[in-house]
Chains A and B, each alone.
Chain A
């Protein structure tokens, strides 16, 4: 079934209502990142409404949630627009929903019943310093520059997993992890309950921004997973590509939403604030800052929307091109959005730096996203290498 444009508009309207009614109250009171104790309730509401996708087929978001199963038949536009809208109010909540969605989407690729029930899930992909580089994506055993060290070894009726994963993004209180690991010279994708004895997690600690989503490091010590908890058909490379593409599209959409929110706040503030004998908005220096910001936010949104028709089959002949397009969107989009947000903050003068107007939070969030799940240097290298693969 195709989703038509009216239905997408309804999703976006719903996302706006969700942002206003469920997320905005988090910012009442003196909290730099909102009252994070309200997050479980916010995420529960996201599950109820269906924005949070879930591998649990009984939940509304399983099909139509962010990165839900419907994207394979109807495309990703509704997920992009929903993330854009939610992140205008809070990038961190949007990142939590994005992380949930990407992990869910991989699980839904299995198209089979899992041996245990899950609702909240998270993707474990990155190791050590960075995501895998081009050669290693194509073969996780390839050591250019570093092969994937987290490996699954065949055992009776299943696999034994050892290794560690870094910077695992989630909504928190994860039921199961979706792990991309090396199985000999191929990728394998496994579902691991979060309460497994061999699994230990550690919060990465105080962070610059995106505090409404959880970030953990994980260690796997002789974790046994049954055979039916491996969800690929012998090679999960397409899962790895899918995880990167959806994450980069999602992160770029979130950044574009943050930038859009920043522009809207700046416009409101400068129309109201007096300086130099008139409203701030009458000053050419301010006009330049806002105009540049608006253009950059628009360009970032255009970059992510240009990916709305991306082929999610990730066929061998187009895989490198699609991955490259997503990496370029993240590299450029995040840079544009960070510039837009910092310029909008500047229009507030000293108030922009204080927590009250929410601008400093937007800047912290978008700056965090720049380095999250693929920092610029990594993306540059990957874009160049993928260019050679095409």
Chain B
């Protein structure tokens, strides 16, 4: 290209051409040189901004160096030090503000889930499995918070939050709804009505005796306490009740550890209940409130899964971008080729769209079924699409583990399945809007 043309191109770039505008005109033009991350963060409430930044720093400093090893050798990898570091940093205390948590109070009163969601994306960019180790306890404790049950708060939730916020080594919770014969069934109304559940609670003096099995439980093997949903003996899923089962309880054991395609650093385990006595004080909320509680937990957890999905996609994007910057084809870097730029732009657009959707779903204090389900579907599909693009952009290098992109792709694929498959989430969206706008015309067509 001739030097004259190069000079003209330079002049025409908006950041230079802006000088020709009047002062007021220049003010109307947002010409700040900021990364997308910085620009997005600047739109958040101040307290939330801080946690997004903290989570990013933590992910790069603490997760990045151990991510590949944790993925390759999950059985030999001790995740406890990482969890302790995250607790010290306050990253597991973002549900509530002072004195029961470290969340920003101004952000908390606007949205119960925003700060967790922000941290979820950042942590996941470096490793889906390790991020799940840190985030699954939020899911485990959510039934307690969402029960709205004062005795549950006093006996379990408040002491837990207090310990987590002010002392080291609090209990690690996990969440158990899936059964070997009922996966999607426990996440959807019609499936629930016909589900073949085996985990049953039989009333005895002073409590209940649990029998049955749960499967694919994230952090099941390392959890100290599990929020377990069981039907009452002789009744159906409408009797579902949430119980806190403690690791030390007699008859409780961890069975098979699943071998997964991705998110390998976090265990997905089978939990076995053989005549486990659970005292009445360990019932979460009221008897038979479990189904509603479970459905609402999913409403709050799905935006987090959406955020994790974006983290998987972003991690793949960032590592592919780095590859394109350092790899040359002929005398040019890959990133200097237009077709590569088109692909990168497409990935950035997809991630931005998904993030906007996730953040929007958390802009109200409560999460709702329709938008949470929609977010989860869109963000997880986006994550798989973007991580696929990242792999393809790198050619054969994309499938090499050492480059870190294929790990994000493997991790991302699970987000289309857990917290309800994307098919089940589509049904959840339809269900939430059916009576309101789908089954009757609200468009003035009569």
Contact = CB atoms under 8 A, between A and B. Distances in A.
B395 A208 contact: no
B423 interface: yes
Contacts of B397: 129
A167 B260 CA distance: 27
Interface string A248-261: 00000000000000
A208 B399 contact: yes
Interface in B405-425: 406, 409-410, 413-414, 416-418, 421-423
B109 interface: no
Contacts, number: 146
Contacts of A378: 395
Given A129-B327, A275-B184, A349 B417 contact: yes
A352 B188 CA distance: 19
A209 B399 contact: yes
A367 to B, nearest CB: 7
B392 A275 contact: no
A44 interface: no
Interface in A109-149: 126, 128-130, 143-146
Given A209-B399, A277-B194, A349-B183, A371 B414 contact: no
A294 to B, nearest CB: 17
A371 B413 contact: no
B78 interface: no
A32 B334 CA distance: 34
B14 interface: no
A220 B275 CA distance: 67
Residue from B391, B394, B396 having most chain A Cβ neighbours under 10 A: B396
A145 B423 contact: no
B38 interface: no
B158 interface: no
Contacts of A356: 259
Contacts of A162: none
A38 interface: no
A51 interface: no
B260 A355 contact: yes
B426 interface: yes
Interface in A144-161: 144-146
Nearest to B190: A276
B259 A354 contact: yes
Contact of A205 (B260, B401, B414): B401
B126 interface: no
B107 interface: no
A207 interface: yes
A372 interface: yes
A81 interface: no
A355 to B, nearest CB: 4
17 contacts: A129-B395, A146-B329, A205-B400, A206-B400, A208-B409, A208-B410, A274-B181, A274-B196, A283-B423, A349-B184, A352-B417, A368-B399, A370-B388, A371-B392, A371-B398, A372-B396, A381-B339
Interface of A: 30, 32, 126, 128-130, 143-146, 166-167, 204-210, 215, 274-278, 283, 285-286, 289, 338, 342, 345-346, 349-350, 352-356, 360, 363-364, 367-368, 370-373, 375-378, 380-381
